[in-house]
Amino acid sequence: MAVKDIVKYPDPRLKVTSDSVYQIDKYILQTIKDLSDTLDAYPHTVGIAAPQIGITLRIIIIDASKKRNCRDNHGKLVLINPEIYSYDGLLQFREGCLSIPDFTANINRAKEVSVCYYDTAFKRQFVKASDFEAVLLQHEIDHLNGVLFLDRVISKRTDLFRRKKYI
């Protein structure tokens, strides 16, 4: 098991646009395993992007099934070079992030998204997601573009919240 350290804000690596993946090799497979192991090490975390472990490649893993009451989801997905090609609707969602552990914020996101990506066999796939899973995809794809949820906060005065610490 290779649980990696999480890159934390304001580390400049979180603001870099990630490079595309052009083939599956041992390095890419190891990166996917490290991402998966790291995601699994945080029981309440539902998504992770390669930049969060210091690797600027366009790879994310999401698992909306880890969230209670999220019945409409596709389970654990590994997405390589994901791109959102359609958006629909709007909702406001409270987001948090492993890379910004001290805050959460209300963010406006699309209610539904359609995403094309490559799987671990480097075959092109498509997924349509709604509600929580759609928000999750948008959040993680933002990481690949050097965008953090803090960049999307409409009002830092009314929509940014200090996360409660549990003892």
Note if 140 is an active site residue. yes
Q: How far apart are CA 110 and CA 150, in angstroms?
A: 17
**Under a CB-based contact definition with an 8 Å cutoff, are residues 93 and 109 in contact?**
yes
Of 83, 95, 112, 140, which residue is the catalytic one?
Answer: 140
3-state secondary structure 21-87: CCCCCHHHHHHHHHHHHHHHHCCCCCEEEHHHHCCCECEEEEEHHHCCCCCCCCCEEEEEEEEEEEE
**Residue 131 Cα distances to 34, 53, 90, 110, 125, angstroms:** 27, 26, 9, 8, 20
* 5-163-102-132 Cα dihedral, nearest 10 degrees: 60
Active site residues: 140
